[in-house]
Amino acid sequence: MVSNCWLMASYLPEFSANFAPSCILTLEGGMKSRAIISFFGSLNDFFPQNRKNSPQSVAFEDGCGVKDLIESLGVPHTGIDVLIVNGTSVDFGFRLNGQSCIEVYPCFSVPQKDTLLHLQPPVPENPSFILDVHLGKLTHLLRMMGFDSLYRNNFGDKEIVEIAHDQNRIILTRDKGILKYRLVSSGYWVRSTDTGIQIKEVTARFRLCSRKKPFTICMECNGKLKPVQKQEIESLLEENTVKYFTKFAKCCNCGKIYWEGSHYLKLRDRIENICAGER
């Protein structure tokens, strides 16, 4: 994750906020190579207000990897879907030489074309996640929607990266640094600190509403839920629960029992609300 690029990032105030994606470069005598990098759409979330939506000028040693150069500015590779260098679509292994005009696009911002390399892996039909220590409440909501989501309040960065790699899990984090590890192939930096907004961010980024399977995962432990007959668990329930409800499910891991009571109806409404704006 450490960049070996020699950086001299400098904001170019002469460019307007509505810059064109193309740029013209001039190099002064004796200088190292220079790139002008334009970040589009949600990638501007990684910058302070005075650097948003404006090209950034960066000096680098020839041979510097384009991924390292961009990550050294604070944008992890997991947020980048299309990279254009001097008009050509390139991958993360591309090495820069000489003056370079770089355009950087987030997911879903550029239409699919044969001539474009899309660098983010497609979202699996059944995506699974691992979340950092700041995202316990978000974990519960993802499980509610039926997504396998690992969480512990003492996960370390390296542990998260290794588990994600070994189990093909998407990393969700409030820490941009985790996403810069080379082993990380898929992840998302959660912008908001509000759980209600976080779940909308994540469902939009990974198109989760069309993939959801509500109430199939235990919200407490991430175990799978299986339907269970009332008579099998009757002795564990309160009298009114036995009297008024007929459908039950049990966690295969921790044994927690779920039924379609008033709490279930509230959660069902919450899922409808989360997905209200998504196709």
CB 140 → Zn ion: shortest distance, Å?
12
For the bound state, the minimum distance from the C-beta of residue 161 to Zn ion, rounded and expressed in Å, comes to 26
Q: Which helix (H) or strand (E) holds 170?
A: strand 170-173
Is residue 31 near Zn ion by the rule CB under 5 A? no
Answer for the pair 220, 251: CB distance below 8 angstroms, yes or no. yes
CB 8 to Zn ion: min, Å: 53
Minimum distance, C-beta of residue 173 to Zn ion, in the bound complex (Å): 24
Concatenate the DSSP letters of all residues of 49-75 into one string.
GGGTTS-EEEEE-TT-BHHHHHHTTT-
Stretch near Zn ion under the rule CB under 5 A, chosen from 31-39, 192-200, 256-264, 270-278:
256-264
Provide, rounded to whole angstroms, the least separation between the CB of residue 222 and Zn ion: 7
The rounded distance, in Å, linking the Cα atoms of 53 and 12 is: 11
| Helical ranges in the chain per DSSP H | 66-71, 136-144, 157-167, 195-205, 230-233, 239-244, 262-274
**Nearer Cβ to Zn ion (86/128):** 128
Instruction: Name the 3-class secondary structure at 266.
Output: helix
CB of 148 to Zn ion, least distance (A): 12
Restricted to residues 183-242, the positions that interact with Zn ion (CB under 5 A) are 218, 220-221, 223
User: Is residue 251 within the footprint of Zn ion (CB under 5 A)?
Assistant: yes
Q: Quickly count: other Cβ atoms within 10 Å of residue 227's Cβ.
A: 9
Distance (Å, whole) CA 97 – CA 94: 10
Candidates 137, 224, 230, 256; binder of Zn ion (CB under 5 A) is 256
Identify which of residues 183 and 254 has a Cβ nearer to Zn ion in the complex: 254
Radius of gyration for the chain, computed over Cα atoms and rounded to the nearest angstrom? 23
Smallest gap from residue 221 Cβ to Zn ion (A): 3
Establish if 252 lies at the interface with Zn ion (CB under 5 A): no
Helices 136-144 and 195-205: crossing angle in degrees, nearest 10, is: 60
Residue 60 or 259: which CB sits closer to Zn ion?
A: 259
- 36 sits near Zn ion (criterion: CB under 5 A): no
Give the nearer residue to Zn ion in terms of CB position, either 87 or 227.
227
Is residue 253 a contact point for Zn ion (CB under 5 A)? yes
The first and second tokens of residue 3, run together, are 């960049």
Please identify, using beta-carbon distances, which residue of 226 and 247 lies nearer to Zn ion: 226
Q: How big, in percent rounded to 5, are the helix, strand and coil portions of the chain?
A: 30, 20, 50
- Does residue 146 bind Zn ion (CB under 5 A)? no
Q: Which residues bind Zn ion (CB under 5 A)?
A: 218, 220-221, 223, 251, 253-254, 256
